[in-house]
Structure 1
Amino acid sequence: MFHTAFTGTQKTATRFRFLPPFSANPFHAGTRALFPLFLLALLLTFTSPARAQEPAPGHYNPATTIVVGGDRSYPPYEFIDKDGQPAGYNVDLTKAIAEVMGMKVEFRFGSWAEMRAGLQQGKIDILQGLSYSDERSHSVDFSPPHAMVHHAIFARRDTKPVRSLEELKGKKVIVFQDGIMHERLKLMGFEKDLVLTPTPAEALRLLASGQYDYAVVAQLPGMYLIRELRLTNLVPVAKAVVSEQYGYGVAKGNRELLTRFNEGLAIVIKTGQYAQIYNRWLGVHEPPRVTREMALKYGAMILVPLLLVLAGTALWNKTLHKRVAERTAELAQEVTERNKALEALRRHQDKLIQADKMASLGTLVSGVAHEINNPNGLLLLDIPILKRVHEDAEDIFEERYQEVGDFMLGGVPYSEMCEEIPRILEEMQDGAQRIKRIVNDLKDFARRDDVGHKEPIDVEAAVKRAVRLVEPTIRSATGSFEALYAGNLPPVLGNAQRIEQVIVNLVLNACQALPGREKGITLATSLDGESGSVVIEVRDEGVGIAQEHLAQLVDPFFTTKRESGGTGLGLSVSAGIVKEHGGTLRFASTPGEGTTVTLSLPVTSRRS
């Protein structure tokens, strides 16, 4: 078993040793940063250090080294090189993620069956190269895909070619054990005709020796191994018969570790490191692209001899240029479509990362609510009893006052405390009720609601809950906050928690935009009878937004407050929620004067 360690903050910390193999047991396969910080502050305030618990087994612990599993023979994705070191696309990508996230990782390579079993046994924390399938998703949580793996059918040159997996029925087919194609061919009913090997290299060697009919192997590793092993009698007879999403995988439930890798992957993609790693390992194995410059170069090499021999062939010259232009246009269209696909993949990855964060947020809020509600419930039960005790003892205190004069009570003269005690008890009860209301608002805000579940809701009630939720932030940001409610607004068909999330994001953005407490914020609700919409408007007297940035405000990860901890996800998530509700989100701003955000939601004909 191969083993190596890598520290994200110190690239030179590398060591190698051999470990005993695992037992073979294959298995089947948004908010902005301020809100989580607010929850963390609550947790630190109300939770005693003596009650802190150790992290659950199998979950990510930042103080430990993460064991990353890989296949010892799956080039160019992951393999052991001639110097005995881990190499390949997956290894470089994992090192880049570990470096940007400050994580320590340890590579452990072996047969694929050993790695799969090790993940389920807890000996492996994460697999860096795992193809997605519905069956595997029952026991594995997957990251967003960072590559697509195309699988091909290989055969000897004298073998009859086939074009699809279905044509392999009745043939002896070689696959490597526990790979995604092993699982797929079993589901297609080919299990009795399958010949299993521990690695793709063994599968191709067996086929090249004249045994069996075909081998189904990932296309890039297959071509790579044929060249490296000099298996010149093998050729791919059907390319890209199956394409699978390829990414990281952790044991079911280890969401904290997966979220860290998802965040690191997004950063590596944004910084351009991903493109460099991809081109280094995978781009060199793709067929070279025909560029316009190449087409013109070779066109000229053909045209010059022809012009010397056939000076009068002007018609041929025009035809050739036309063909070059058509091919160039086709290539430009292909590049455009590929860029669109990459952009869609990036947006999907961003949404998954945000979903992971919100799932973790829900768990955190549940824990905070439980820890706060228990002692606060005792306060709500005990304070009324103290008030009754004071009422019963008041006559006794008065008699003593009349008999002996003023006396000390709690270090303060009774003549002063007789007026203060009822006020103190009343303030304590009001404060406990306020804590209970805030915790309930937090639970409502972070509750995981059913996707697509909508019902008629009172928008103003949702707005008021959102304002209560961020009231401490409002008080620290400005001394002039005004909420103007129209009252008696018609219901809106939607999800109250999602609307609250949008209002929280808008109000927090307004608070962050203020240069000082002397500047104010105004929140107003109204009904637009002409368009049949409920309108929520948030105006601030902040620094404003440059005109060239207005069109980018809802783009994922776009933020003008990066240096102060902004993530650029709040408005992106809010815009998606508003779109789901059939509403609109408009921005108007003048630099130096402030910003106005207008949220419109269509009213429903149904009454709640």
Structure 2
Amino acid sequence: MVGGDRDYPPYEFLDRDGKPAGFNVELTRAIAEVTGMRVEIRLGAWSEMRAALAAGRIDALQGMSWSEQRAAEVDFSPPHLVVNHAIFARKGTPAVASLEALRGHAVAVHRDGIMDDQLTTLGMGDRLLRTDTPADALRLLASGKGEYAVVAALPGTFIIRELKLTNLDPVAHSVASQRYGYAVRKGDAALRSRFDEGLAILKQTGRYEALRQRWLGVLEPQPVSWGKFFQYGAVVFVPLLLVLGGTVLWSRQLQREVAERTASLAAAVEELRLNQAQLVQADKMAALGVLVSGVAHEINNPNGFILLNMPALKDVYLDALEALDRDRPDGAPPRLGGLPFATAREEVPRMLDEMLDGARRIRRIVEDLKDFARREDAPARAPLDLDEVVRAAVRLVENPIRKATTRFELALDGALPPVVGSAQRIEQVIVNLVLNACQALPSPDRAVRVSTRADGARGVVICEVRDEGVGIPPEHLPRLTDPFFTTKRDSGGTGLGLSVSSGIVKEHGGTLEFRSAPGAGTTATVTLPAAPDAGPQGIP
């Protein structure tokens, strides 16, 4: 004796003649056929069928959703379906996304069904509207009672279509998925194994899939046959393909035009962005120049007093030391500023020298700032020999070069075409580059090479300062000529030398470029235009 729900289409239900029908019914009969069982199928209210199984009036339920609570009461066969449950509501009712969201709402459910169990476990039992069948739950909702109904998705869709409940819609799909299979009384392993065996045979022979397609596939999308496809294609697709072909040709032409215009617009936008950035930078530099000029003047005045007075103060101190050495009647050495006389004799001159060096350093920084801020509307220009300028610059920094390296090389071209510009300003650039090269060397055995050459094809003369120093990280290369950018701030760098040098080279119509790699040294290249009337041998 196998029981089931009388109104759970398309799984199991009583047809118009009052006879059992549906997927579960035909599956049970097919299992009975292949296993040699004789079965009688009895359908009724679901809660009554559950009670009948517990009381022994029937031997099995042909479709029951699995839960831990139910598994403690009955034994389940392996599931032959997964039943998805959905939330239904009247049109216009606010949508909800989960079972938990139903808390506080009036919800219609199938009495003793899996959703009744689950919502009761969630503490919503007092708000449930329980009905004998899923169809009754949907009818109740359609009549205006309750706010939502939770029903298996496939039966719910089937019932709404058959009963024409047009004011209902699913508002949440697959809020719960349950394994669905045969259930027998606890401990009836023999009967459960018969159902397991029969179900396995039906799946292997293909009869299970045929039954599933017949009853459950009616609400699933059906594949279109090739015959139908070609029939529809002759009427619809051929004209559509002709239209699409013309559209594609026109679209490609349009895409080419759009691509060309887009590229042109992108270039214009990039140029506008660069111009705007240059204007902003120029405005910043103008304001900075005014500030620097004022600050430099204010610093130079007191610093000038220090530079002027410090040598005289040192001379006075040294003279005083001689007097103190002579006039010591008691023979005891005097103390100066709390220091023993011997210590003061050694330390105070050194302190005065350090103060003088500091004041000179302040003067150099201020001069760099003034050079950075200075605007020369019409700087003095004259033809000059770059070799002579480089030679003079190297003479100025002979001492730092000797301290930094034992391998300094000067390779001058000797026949360069002249350059029009300020010799003093170009000399300042070369001095800055050579000093930077010396400071980049980790040891005196590393080399620095300064060279000049001409490039007749480009009409330029070139000076290169190359070192075998520590190199420059790639991320720092684009910022080398930015004002106040320096990696040597701890050792007194101000970040103005290369910025000033770059500005001087640009004033002369040239370029200042750097090539470097960490650990592989750095090459600074100054490129200046040759005088326009220079001959092939460099003679104007």
TM-score computed with the length of structure 1 as normaliser: 0.40
Find the structure with the greater CA-based Rg. Answer: 2
TM-score computed with the length of structure 2 as normaliser: 0.44
Pick 1 or 2: higher relative contact order, CA cutoff 8 A, min separation 6: 1
